Structure 1
Amino acid sequence: MAITAAQIDLWRQEPTEHQALEFKEAKASFNFEKLKEYCVAIANEGGGHLVLGVSDAKPRAVVGSQAFPNIVDTADRLFLAVGFRVEVEAVDHDDGRVVVFTIPPRLRGTAHHVDGKYLMRSGESLRPMSEDRLRAIFAEGQPDWVEQPSLSGLDAAQIVELLDTQTFFELLKLPYPTSQEGVLEKLVQERLIDREPAGFSIRRLGGLLLAKRLDQFPDLARKAPRVLVYDGPSKLNTRIDQIWQRGYAVGFQGLVDFVMAQLPQNEVIEHALREKVKLLPEHAVRELIANALVHQDLSISGMSPMIEVYSNRLEISNPGEPVVPVERFIDGYQSRNERLADLMRRMSICEERSSGIDRVVDLAERYQLPAPDFRAAHRRTVATIYGQKPFDEMDREGRIRACYQHCVLKYVLSERMTNQTLRERFGLGEAKLATVSQIIAATIEAGFIKLDATGGESRRYARYLPFWA
């Protein structure tokens, strides 16, 4: 079906570019090597359209493009270069020629590459796919790891002995069945156990969520969260090293309570009274632990979620590099383990629709804590949340991170960041207006935020957007 000028205008009205739609001005030309890379990246992320001759900045004016005058030859060259057919069309728009590349999605279980580079998009740029992402793609179509049996040949009594069925029903807010058969039927219905000719089997998902002890499941024992508590701000002296053996769902609140008990206490003065408060708010700790459990890469062996408690911060990490770029943690969401996430949501353990990171950032702002730090490490995703630190002691990187996160949080709330809102986030008064302006300028220079062109001329009342908005 031919692309029309009307379709171009509909695409121009999209709120933002996304995985299936990319605009480039390309008035005179467009590099063929870059074209190959964009086709591969868009195909790897489900297919879509690359549109040349339209500005990628709002209001997305049609500027016209003279790139690739021979579209038939271009389509043939692309096919030889990338190995799949890309439809190329030249559309006569009232404001100029627009070239549209319609890129098909990759086949299930395969990924495309250019000269050995498996590419994906990250904001307005391209980046190599991580090992974890490639492994997940190549495993598509194979049986899901969590749906495979962990223990088989069990009788009804062994099922109830191994799994905490009482807490399972409490978490679902359901009355406990009056018969053992009723308990087993619910577990079968939820696909946590299976009936077999010789009795029952427990799926790995059932064990992960409901195990009374994960070490009774040989293939799940290394998935148990590990809690490390240090004396001081470094790893030099370890005070506690404990493996949390209960299943993720039935042991979650106990795990959160244990971690909270290990956090240092700070003394604050409020209403002329001295009070002792924990280093971090419980809601933030809860969200980050749930996030690490739900979004870990369960296919990686020999690694487990880790919770490390220091005197001035909490670090929570999980196996697997993130499937969403860390700079999009606040507004983006993609679950690595959909069934695990769904059950944890139904048990009110994690967020209903997002990763909970937006709540963590919001809590850090409300308590005027330093900005949380989210990092992709080697085969791990690390989230760090810090205890109280005066503004004057925050380093440049921490201030820029706080500015970007505040800008994103305002954006997802359909609001805009200004100098005033950022001063309020840091707990600063009018006298610090110039200081906060310097932070905003540094964040713009770092490429994390940009000026909202609709905000008017005044720098004092300027509004700002995330770089990808």
Structure 2
Amino acid sequence: MTIERDIVLVDELCSQSAENALVEFKHNNFKPEMVGKLCSAMSNAARIAQKDFAYVLWGVDDETQQVIGTTFEPNKQTVGNQVFEFWLSSRLNPSIAFEFRVVEHPKGKVVLLEIPAATSAPVSYDNIPYVRIGSATPKLLDYPDRFQKLIDNIKPFTWEKAIAKSFISADDVLELLDYPKYFKLTQQRLPENKKGILEGLEADLLITKDVGEHWNITNLGAILFANDLQQFDAALARKGVRFIAYDGNNKAAIVTHRQDGRKGYAIGFEGLVEYLNNLLPQNEHIGAVFREQQKLYPEIAIRELIANALIHQDMTVRGAGPQVELFSDRLEITNPGTPLVHTDRMIDQPPRSRNDVLASLMRRMGLCEEQGSGLDKVIISAELFQLPAPKFQAEENSMQATLYAPRSFANMSIDERIRACYQHAVIKYLSGERMKNASLCERFGIDPQKSPAQATKVINAALDANLIKPAEQDRPRAGYAPWWT
């Protein structure tokens, strides 16, 4: 926090007519138990009021709200043989990141205690949760209506709402974010004045109001619409999409193209997909009548897998971001974070996203498919292009999706054939149909009149792997369904 911002914050808090649930004024009065109760009460009250912070200020007269200075020095306080702040932290549960800051205000020294709102559970002091009602600090459980509202308002920490850059002017907001792109992608008319632009960005949580007519840019606003992610801190800048193309099928091959993304996802998404498509060689696809020249990988599959990597990544993994790697025989798309859905069930189960606000806005802007339909289209397009089955693989702290270049059935491994069979059974099931020998022959490009036994072998292998099962036990010819049906 800057000195200037803290002075403006103190002035804004002092401009209120009296103490309230989120602001407490004191001169020099300090009692450890009193501060502990205030931290519990005001943290809970802030969440009830849907505010991020509450504040206690030493050095302000509680009747006139005038800065009068204080002799209180929090870093010199002890309780028994413990440093006060450590003592306080050990008595608050769950722990909150409270902060004491000394503000050298022009009218005198002020000590500012910033108390963050409860996020995962009511905050207790010595195992008792308190709440703030006006300037009183009663026990929370004595007020069941407020307790219920607190529970209703408590939500886990969301990365999107955290602040990427604080206390900046309106002009800085408009310089750092590509606001015309926001209005274009959300199909809104660009407002004619600065006030309307800021209101639009604020409505979608891209910015929030700070003190003294200043603004904050949220992580959501930065990661989607930053003109240059390098203008933000290093942790956010590393979330840019990295693209690498190799002249071979492994990372030891020569790197032919490399781009480290610096634009926000919404600004750079279309450019990345187009750039990648332009690097892809042509593939001859045999249609019902004609041979057609098409790109090596279907664009819908590329778009959806990249969008999934952006949406479902774990933003809290520091030093890592989405990566797209193009090899001679495959395209790998990796994002940080272990997936929240088992890889075998990603096709049929609704996705679980760590970044719901980001996902919702990207879908609204048309940058990815509607929820639950994206991976279906990836599998269907791979089948249409008669590509090997895409692979979804969870690593220790990352998720990787792989599209493979065209390969004949004869050149596919047993595992690839089984994976394709399982995915085909899922797609058929989701379409209200059943996989049969004939449909699997079509998926692999096998002539059902000449070589149906090849598909039968794959089906038997998938049965042995417990990935599929007969749709009807007493009717073997009725087809097959995924194991989980």
Mapping of 1:400-439 within 5 angstroms?
Answer: 400-430=418-448, 431-439=450-458
Taking the aligned partners of 2:389 and 2:287, their CA distance within structure 1 comes to 23
Which residue among 370, 384, 387 is the counterpart of 2:402? 384
Taking the aligned partners of 1:465 and 1:201, their CA distance within structure 2 comes to 51
Counterpart in the other structure of 1:93? none
Counterpart in the other structure of 1:265? 282
Deviations 1:186-240 (A, max 9, x none): 1111111011123111001110111111111113101001001000112122122
Taking the aligned partners of 1:195 and 1:438, their CA distance within structure 2 comes to 63
Between 315-324 and 427-436, the greater mean CA deviation after superposition: 427-436
Taking the aligned partners of 2:292 and 2:483, their CA distance within structure 1 comes to 41
> C-alpha root-mean-square deviation of aligned residues, in Å?
2.1
Which residue among 202, 208, 214 is the counterpart of 2:217? 202
SS at match of 1:220: helix
Which residue among 139, 157, 167 is the counterpart of 1:143? 157
SS at match of 1:308: strand
Matched, 1:227 2:255: no
Which amino acid counterpart does residue 218 of structure 2 have in structure 1?
Answer: R
Taking the aligned partners of 2:325 and 2:188, their CA distance within structure 1 comes to 35
Which residue among 181, 184, 187 is the counterpart of 1:167? 181
Counterpart in the other structure of 1:248? 265
Matched, 1:446 2:465: yes
Matched, 1:190 2:204: yes
Q: TM-score, normalised by structure 1?
A: 0.67
Taking the aligned partners of 1:390 and 1:396, their CA distance within structure 2 comes to 13
Q: Is the 8 A contact 1:149 1:201 kept in 2?
A: yes
Deviations 1:84-109 (A, max 9, x none): xxxxxxxxxxxxxxxxxxxxxxxx68
Unaligned ranges ≥5, structure 1: 1-107, 110-139
Q: Is the 8 A contact 1:400 1:443 kept in 2?
A: yes
Counterpart in the other structure of 2:256? 239
Taking the aligned partners of 1:419 and 1:413, their CA distance within structure 2 comes to 17
Counterpart in the other structure of 2:356? 338
Deviations 1:369-404 (A, max 9, x none): 110010001201000011111111111000000000
Q: Is the 8 A contact 1:335 1:341 kept in 2?
A: yes
Which amino acid counterpart does residue 316 of structure 2 have in structure 1?
Answer: S
SS at match of 1:334: coil
Taking the aligned partners of 1:344 and 1:428, their CA distance within structure 2 comes to 39
Q: Is the 8 A contact 1:262 1:309 kept in 2?
A: no
- Larger-Rg structure: 2
SS at match of 1:232: coil
Counterpart in the other structure of 2:372? 354
Matched, 1:177 2:196: no
Matched, 1:297 2:314: yes
Counterpart in the other structure of 2:415? 397
Between 424-433 and 226-235, the greater mean CA deviation after superposition: 424-433
Q: 1:275 to 1:232 in 2, by over 3 A?
A: farther
Q: Is the 8 A contact 2:183 2:189 kept in 1?
A: yes
SS at match of 2:377: helix
Q: 1:327 to 1:274 in 2, by over 3 A?
A: closer
Query: How many residues get paired?
Result: 330
Unaligned ranges ≥5, structure 2: 1-119, 122-153
Identity percentage over the alignment? 43
SS at match of 1:331: coil
Mapping of 1:24-103 within 5 angstroms?
Answer: none
Q: 1:270 to 1:402 in 2, by over 3 A?
A: closer
Which amino acid counterpart does residue 452 of structure 2 have in structure 1?
Answer: L
SS at match of 2:440: helix
Matched, 1:370 2:388: yes
Taking the aligned partners of 1:189 and 1:408, their CA distance within structure 2 comes to 39
Q: 1:266 to 1:415 in 2, by over 3 A?
A: closer
Matched, 1:280 2:297: yes
Q: TM-score, normalised by structure 2?
A: 0.65
Q: Is the 8 A contact 1:263 1:311 kept in 2?
A: no
Q: Please report how far the alpha carbon of residue 277 of structure 1 lies from its aligned counterpart in structure 2 after TM superposition.
A: 3.0
SS at match of 1:223: coil
Taking the aligned partners of 2:287 and 2:483, their CA distance within structure 1 comes to 39
Which amino acid counterpart does residue 152 of structure 1 have in structure 2?
Answer: S
Which amino acid counterpart does residue 466 of structure 2 have in structure 1?
Answer: G
